[in-house]
Amino acid sequence: MALKIYVTKNWDQMSKIAADFIEADIREKQAVKDEYVLGLATGNSPTGVYKHLAKAFNTGRIAPRRIRTFNLDEYVGLPGENAQQRAMHCESYTYFMIAEFFGLLQEKFRETNVPWGTLIDQDQLVKALDEQQSSYELQGTHKGKAVVIKDHASGYLKMIRDEILDAYWKKIEASGGIDLQVIGVGGRGHVAFHESGIPFD
């Protein structure tokens, strides 16, 4: 598939063009299948797109009840005594999505999903990483590293891999995969939490 690049005058025009493209893709696919799976991102880049899409949904041009969403990422280690408090922290991506998109909709999506990072207790994670150093590896360079939990991991690391990371991926697969992914590129060249030093594989 050929890559098509749009050069726009400014962020506002980019937001409108991107929203129009997404709306057209949703209409096209909703004409032939019951459910559309939309991948979402956070950050400054997509907020204008989300405002335009909210107008399209709220005026009935496209049906949100036939859309399931999956976000790219979520923080681990936000303040809060439990997962709910961490999810609703003002820096969480769950909070961001409610403020910038989900909360603008008069009719809600069929289902929204933000990675379950707030289920991870950072103190327990740090302890598990310290105690089970052979159960994971760091991949990447000084520009960014990923923690890759190995198959033989046990205890807390196994729970994170199986019940949070793999379970989220399986839920995306069970939904038929992502039809279209909204994404921005950060100032350091990062995409989501995939920093420029982390291998793509």
CA distance 157 to 125: 7
Backbone φ and ψ of 37, nearest 5° = -110, 115
Closest CA to 72 of 111, 114, 44: 114
**Residue type at 127 in one-letter notation:** K
Going residue by residue through the chain, which has 201 residues, state the pLDDT in tens, using 9 for 90 and above: 688 889 999 999 999 999 999 999 999 999 999 999 999 999 889 999 999 999 999 999 999 999 999 999 999 999 999 999 999 999 999 999 999 999 999 999 999 999 999 999 999 999 999 999 999 999 988 888 889 999 999 999 999 999 999 999 999 999 999 999 999 877 766 666 666 666 666
